[in-house]
Structure 1
């Protein structure tokens, strides 16, 4: 046997190893892979936005009159949202403490015991009622009026007390 025989056999053997290592499944004796089940999942919901940090303004309004708030004893502070539908009113009532009402949307008409001239308030405006002042708030508009009402009440007192109409 010539000297090239063993070298040729080694080269051919090395080529076979290299080619076998490079072979794709289904080639040169490599078996085809088992089929893999594909599971499709629904897209995930977008992440909720992070909660706001710092103060969050709920509502505001400008009071054009002088405001004087005093309590002679402890008071309970309350903030509530009231929505008056078109044609709806609060009825004549008073509070055992001062009230500040800001208009967030819509428009309201206000009547006071000491001033029966209707006063209109629009979004961004506010009206102040001193302790015990009878008044009525109504929606004479065509859309709901959303109000943010802030009050300081005597502990245990009702949020409002009905009174006889003043006008």
Structure 2
């Protein structure tokens, strides 16, 4: 199942730690998205940039808006039928 969704993160907001059962293609429309990945890597994406979030529980991540303006994303989800778009998980031990 593929679908498109607009996601807005207010300043200071977080997606919470999660993973996707399928690949997600993201376009940052405005603001700055800061993602922390499963291995502790931090990726920063500015307005106009694209990113791909890989599928599966080994690719847990959290997205945060550390800026002062809303982060607006357009995400195209390619999720297998019968699965949720995202699965919430506990933060990794190293991040606590």
**What TM-score do you get using the length of structure 1 for normalisation?**
0.52
What do you get for the CA RMSD once the two structures are aligned? 1.0
Which consecutive segments of 4 or more residues in structure 1 shift more than 6 A? Answer: none
User: Any stretches of 5+ residues in structure 2 without a counterpart?
Assistant: none
More RCO (CA 8 Å, sep 6+): 2
Size of the aligned set, in residue pairs, is 91
In 2, Cα distance between the equivalents of 1:165 and 1:101? 22
User: C-alpha offsets along residues 27-61 of structure 1, whole Å, 9 cap, x if unaligned?
Assistant: xxxxxxxxxxxxxxxxxxxxxxxxxxxxxxxxxxx
Residue equivalent to 2:2: 77
Aligned twin of 1:107: 32
Give distance in 2, aligned partners of 1:104 and 1:157.
Answer: 27
Matches within 5 A, 1:2-81: 76-81=1-6
The CA distance in 2 between the partners of 1:100 and 1:78, in whole Å, is 11
The structure whose residues are more often helix, as a share, is 1
Structure 2 SS opposite 1:143: coil
Name 1:129's counterpart in structure 2: 53
| TM-score normalised by length of structure 2 | 0.89
Higher strand proportion (structure 1 or 2): 2
Larger radius of gyration: 1
Tell me how far 1:117 sits from its aligned partner. 2.8
CA distance in 1, matches of 2:62, 2:3: 19
Q: How far apart are the structure 1 equivalents of 2:3 and 2:61?
A: 19
Deviation per CA, 1:72-96: give whole Å up to 9, x if none: xxxx001100000000010000111
Aligned to 2:11: 86
For the residues of structure 1 that align with 2:69 and 2:60, how far apart are their CA atoms? Answer: 25
Secondary structure of the 1:164 match is coil
Gaps of 5+ in 1: 1-75
